[in-house]
Structure 1
Amino acid sequence: MPVGDSPTVARRRVRLALREAREHADLTQAQVAEEMEWSLSKVIRIENGDVSISPNDLKPLLTYLGIRDKLTVAALVADARIARTRQRAAWFHTPEFRENLTDATRKLIEYENEAAQMRSYSVYYIPGPLQTPDYAKALMTRFEDELSSDQTQRRIEARQLRRESVLARAESGQMRILVMLDESVLRRTIGGAAAFAQQLRELRHLIENGAITMRMVPFSLDAAVTNNASFDLLSLGEGEVLYRETGLGDEMIEDRETIAKHRARYDKVWDEVADEATTRAFIDRQIRILENPQ
């Protein structure tokens, strides 16, 4: 068990081991619940990472799932104890945010606080943690038919809190952020010319101070990473997680095969797109056009 693991990382390691062991044993969650005399919802919440499992519950479950190696059992029990360590309540778990953010978004925020690296790809808009307040507000108003005013406000607040946390970690060297944007993202004037110009200046500032490394997928390149989804690929202490978003919903994915495909595709296209200097020059041109319209 790595020294300094957080409850987030330890809980993830336990729940993935349990899920993989259950699937390897060809058992359903309902069968596990029946054998352990638990509710089905408890099994689902443990495997989803919504709750931590106690060491006393974990030991008989490991036996049932066929995990009997003493070193493996000891490591997982130690992880379970770390996972249940009390932490100061995170802002995204407070009622006002829990009720207005999706489960996948809350998990993303939790993992962002632990990730050593984030690869972000967007085909629609500037990634959440890089958005200025005006840009975020303008973007959220596009969903006014789907979101209540309270949901909209909480999500705008969440964007800014995420931004503060992610950029603080990036600027201190705790996290490396790679950003790949479709050219359309750097042309789409969300919020109007003034707000979008401010957003582009903020991107340029983040590039200049080393908080992010950014490359653009130009229209001339016939090699999109994905056809219809934006995603964030986060590297944790062990393994990676994938947050994927479309215009209709979002999801957190931890399937190794799916993650590996996204990672391979991202890395391949990253080497084919416009480099950092070309991307920055494009941003500068867009700022000049917005500030001096003909």
Structure 2
Amino acid sequence: MSDRLPARMRALAGELTDLRARSGMTTRVAARALGISSASLNRTEKAKRAASTEELGGMLAVYGATDRDRHAVLELAGELPLPGWLGLPPEPAVLARFEAQASAVLDFAPTAVPALLQTGAYARALLTQADAVADAPDRQAPEQRVSARVARQGVLSRLSAPRYAALLDEAVLRRPVGGGAAMAEQIRWLVSRAAEPHISVRVVPFRHGGYRNPGRFSVLRFREATPLVYLEHEGSSGFLDTPGPVEVFTAITATISAAALDDSDSVNLMNRIAADHDRPVRTVLTRQGRP
């Protein structure tokens, strides 16, 4: 296995790579302008080498970084020595970058459908509920955030899509977020996604009793880097990148997986629950004299 690469160092490497790419420079041209070797720059962009303060300043200048880019890079660089990366806002932008780089992603969802599997209507209902109890005047408009969340799901449709697995508590499916019709649509979307060969959606049913539930988390695995664990709770999120926590969440994943139905039985349960959400709508239409 490759040496552990801290999450923040990997995020910084991604930012620097994007800045260079947007400048139109190849690594060879950029390295020459920075006065370092191409090999050194390549190692920096792969998070195998930490750039010096002077090199970072040179990159920001050579790549034509904006004030926003400069702030993001220097903030990341200033925190590199610390293990892990906590205290981030929910669904930080770097999460999408890591999902796009991953070879495998596992989401455990005890209360809501994972973002990579949400329909627009479901996402809109969740975000509306969150906005009702949060005071964040600088937050993007709900529709922008819905569009961004749906666009992020494109990672699962690429030719090089990661293997994706979702473990859902049955409560996620029973609660009619957005109303019965929207929830039925959401569950049928889960069923359609589960038919893809690289996607698995499994449900932990109520009838299997209790199991170890640490709250929402994701485990992301990479071909050329060590795994990351993403945690998200109300108002905060972060990454764990040291072997100990990764091993703990790998073990927790195994216990949840053991409590879950297999793929086929999960699809059968999801179809039954979708029909339950449909039933009130059909009953109202019948009472109104409509077929």
Distance 1:292 1:104 in 2: 34
For the 8 Å contact 1:15–1:49, the answer to whether it is kept is: no
- C-alpha change, 1:158 and 1:177, in structure 2 (3 Å) is same
Number of aligned residue pairs: give it: 227
Please show how residues 86-97 of structure 1 align to structure 2 within 5 Å: none
**Cα offset for 1:232?**
1.1
Amino acid at match of 1:245: E
Distance 1:133 1:102 in 2: 21
Partner of residue 119, structure 1 = 106
Partner of residue 79, structure 1 = 43
Partner of residue 208, structure 2 = 221
Counterpart among 125, 149, 166 of residue 159 in structure 1: 149
Amino acid at match of 2:12: G
**Cα offset for 1:216?**
1.0
- C-alpha change, 1:195 and 1:211, in structure 2 (3 Å) is farther
Counterpart among 225, 228, 231 of residue 217 in structure 2: 231
**Cα offset for 1:218?**
1.7
Partner of residue 134, structure 1 = 121
Give structure 1 stretches of 5+ with no counterpart.
3-12, 20-44, 57-73, 87-92, 95-100
Distance 2:122 2:31 in 1: 46
- Partner deviation per Cα, 1:171-216 (whole Å, 9 max, x = no partner): x353111110011001111000111111011011111233421111
Partner of residue 229, structure 2 = 242
Amino acid at match of 2:171: S
Partner of residue 282, structure 1 = 269
- Partner deviation per Cα, 1:109-163 (whole Å, 9 max, x = no partner): 1101110000110111000011000000000001123144635333222211111
- C-alpha change, 1:47 and 1:216, in structure 2 (3 Å) is closer
Counterpart among 181, 197, 203 of residue 168 in structure 2: 181
Aligned partner of residue 201 in structure 2, secondary structure: strand
Amino acid at match of 1:198: E
Please show how residues 38-117 of structure 1 align to structure 2 within 5 Å: 49=12, 52=16, 78-80=42-44, 102=89, 105-117=92-104
Percent sequence identity is: 23
- C-alpha change, 1:198 and 1:214, in structure 2 (3 Å) is same
Partner of residue 20, structure 2 = none
Distance 1:277 1:106 in 2: 34
Partner of residue 193, structure 2 = 206
**Cα offset for 1:239?**
1.1
Where relative contact order (Cα < 8 A, 6+ residues apart) is larger, the structure is 2
Give structure 2 stretches of 5+ with no counterpart.
18-29, 33-37, 52-58, 61-67, 70-87, 284-291
Counterpart among 248, 254, 261 of residue 241 in structure 2: 254
**Cα offset for 1:287?**
1.4
**Cα offset for 1:55?**
8.4
Greater alpha carbon shift after TM alignment, 141-150 vs 177-186: 141-150
Distance 1:252 1:186 in 2: 27
RMSD over aligned CA atoms reads 3.8
- C-alpha change, 1:103 and 1:14, in structure 2 (3 Å) is farther
Distance 1:283 1:47 in 2: 37
For the 8 Å contact 2:212–2:256, the answer to whether it is kept is: yes
Distance 1:292 1:81 in 2: 54
Aligned partner of residue 49 in structure 1, secondary structure: helix
